């Protein structure tokens, strides 16, 4: 990406990188980045978009109503700065989880929250540990903030083995359920990590946790590590409105932890950008939190659809990992996932294929509507 011959900020009229872009005036930081590449967002009609883990159901109608109310009653107030710390939204989230507002942080999507987490807790001499297969933004943040990231291989069955996280570290970050596998780690294993690394910050990225359910055989009733933050001062949990709350378009994410970790995030935020959440996003997100019945209903519907999709794919010979997320990770019988992805694309069905070691034989398929599943299964049968 960067031109290896350019290594400092001095002038070089010929400083162009491999893409032919003039990087003469860029910082080395900018030259050496490998930015995150989100799943594509093609705009054409009649596409069956099962590649970016968006919710197939619309957000709560209360969201639009709350935003309409702001526009109708206080449109004038858009001229004023929003509440910098999103107090109402934080209070609603605190109430939902039975914690204090000072244990809640919100930001412009959980991606922004994660960026601030890296700057606040992982810019240290010791490395950060993360699974080798996980959310692909983690290595990007590590590069952005100069964090040494050590990737710990998942087990052969793609599960996270807490005993593999034994080396001294500044922190550990684990997506739970993990992406793109969909596998859930138990709270018992998370406790084990937090106890073993009491001087490190254990970040549990729960983007998909609302689609997870406790194993019926387990004594644990909870699946979210938010239930651990009063017990462990080194556990920080991130979540998002983009998946279970159907609000990817509104850009709201959050973190839960003890007050001193939240204070670090707040200070970091106020050294980047004081007002990350606009007035309408704050109002809409708050309304979503307050509409618990709708939230629970659509989460259950997504779970039911996921289980049905798993059954159908299995009956077509796919190996499907047991998912606790709103996607499934599935391997076609012959392992040629790339060919399946291409063939589906020709039918206007977009799924995600990761061309990287260990997982190149799998497809990540977002849970969609019943109709989208029928279209997908029909297309797979016809291949």
Residues 195-234 that bind a second copy (CB under 8 A): 198-201, 233-234
Shortest Å, Cβ 13 to a second copy: 9
Contact mark string toward a second copy, 120..159, x via CB under 8 A: xxxxxxx-------------xx-xx---------------
Spatial neighbors of 311 by CB under 8 A, at least 6 apart, are none
* Rounded CA separation 36/33 (Å): 9
> Binding a second copy by CB under 8 A: which of 218, 273, 314, 356?
273
Spatial neighbors of 249 by CB under 8 A, at least 6 apart, are none
Name which of residues 11 to 30 contact a second copy (CB under 8 A): 11, 21-30
Shortest Å, Cβ 54 to a second copy: 5
Interaction of residue 102 with a second copy, rule CB under 8 A: no
Q: Please answer whether residues 292 and 271 qualify as being in contact, where contact means their C-beta atoms are separated by less than 8 angstroms.
A: no
Interaction of residue 350 with a second copy, rule CB under 8 A: no
Spatial neighbors of 211 by CB under 8 A, at least 6 apart, are 177, 243, 244, 299, 302, 303, 306, 323, 324, 325, 326
> Binding a second copy by CB under 8 A: which of 86, 181, 227, 242?
242
Spatial neighbors of 68 by CB under 8 A, at least 6 apart, are none
* Rounded CA separation 131/290 (Å): 35
In degrees rounded to 5, what are phi and psi of residue 263? -65, -40
Name which of residues 297 to 336 contact a second copy (CB under 8 A): none
Shortest Å, Cβ 331 to a second copy: 27
Shortest Å, Cβ 170 to a second copy: 6
> Binding a second copy by CB under 8 A: which of 152, 193, 194, 261?
261
* Rounded CA separation 18/3 (Å): 7
Number of other residues whose CB lies within 10 A of the CB of residue 230: 13
Shortest Å, Cβ 311 to a second copy: 25
Interaction of residue 95 with a second copy, rule CB under 8 A: no
Shortest Å, Cβ 111 to a second copy: 5
Cβ closer to a second copy: 199 or 215? 199
């Amino acid at each position: 990406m960067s031109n290896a011959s350019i290594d400092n900020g001095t002038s070089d009229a010929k400083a162009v990188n491999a893409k032919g872009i003039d990087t003469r005036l860029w910082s080395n930081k900018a030259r050496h980045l490998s930015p995150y590449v989100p799943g594509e967002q093609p705009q054409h009609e009649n596409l069956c978009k099962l590649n970016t883990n968006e919710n197939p159901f619309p957000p709560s109608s209360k969201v639009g109503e709350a935003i309409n109310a702001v526009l109708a009653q206080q449109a004038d107030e858009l001229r004023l700065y929003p509440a910098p710390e999103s107090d109402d939204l934080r209070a609603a989230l605190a109430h939902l989880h039975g914690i204090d507002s000072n244990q809640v942080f919100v930001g412009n999507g959980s991606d922004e929250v994660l960026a601030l987490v890296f700057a606040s807790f992982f810019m240290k001499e010791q490395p950060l540990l993360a699974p080798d297969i996980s959310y692909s933004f983690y290595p990007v943040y590590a590069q952005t903030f100069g964090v040494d990231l050590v990737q710990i291989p998942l087990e052969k069955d793609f599960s996270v083995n807490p005993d593999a996280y034994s080396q001294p570290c500044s922190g550990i970050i684990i997506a739970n359920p993990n992406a793109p596998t969909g596998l859930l780690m138990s709270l018992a294993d998370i406790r084990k990590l937090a106890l073993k690394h009491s001087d490190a910050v254990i970040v549990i990225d729960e983007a998909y946790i609302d689609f997870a359910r406790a194993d019926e055989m387990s004594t644990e009733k909870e699946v979210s590590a938010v239930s651990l933050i009063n017990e462990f001062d080194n556990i920080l949990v991130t979540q998002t409105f983009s998946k279970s709350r159907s609000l990817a378009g509104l850009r709201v994410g959050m973190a839960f932890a003890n007050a001193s970790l939240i204070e670090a995030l707040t200070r970091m935020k106020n050294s980047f950008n004081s007002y990350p959440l606009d007035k309408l996003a704050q109002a809409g997100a708050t309304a979503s939190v307050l509409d618990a019945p709708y939230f629970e209903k659509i989460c259950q519907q997504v779970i039911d659809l996921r289980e049905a999709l798993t059954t159908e794919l299995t009956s077509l010979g796919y190996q499907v990992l047991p998912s606790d997320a709103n996607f499934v990770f599935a391997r076609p019988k012959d392992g040629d996932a790339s060919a399946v992805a291409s063939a589906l694309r020709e039918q206007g069905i977009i799924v995600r294929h990761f061309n990287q070691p260990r997982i190149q034989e799998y497809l990540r398929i977002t849970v969609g509507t019943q109709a989208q599943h029928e279209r997908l299964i029909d297309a797979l049968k016809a291949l």
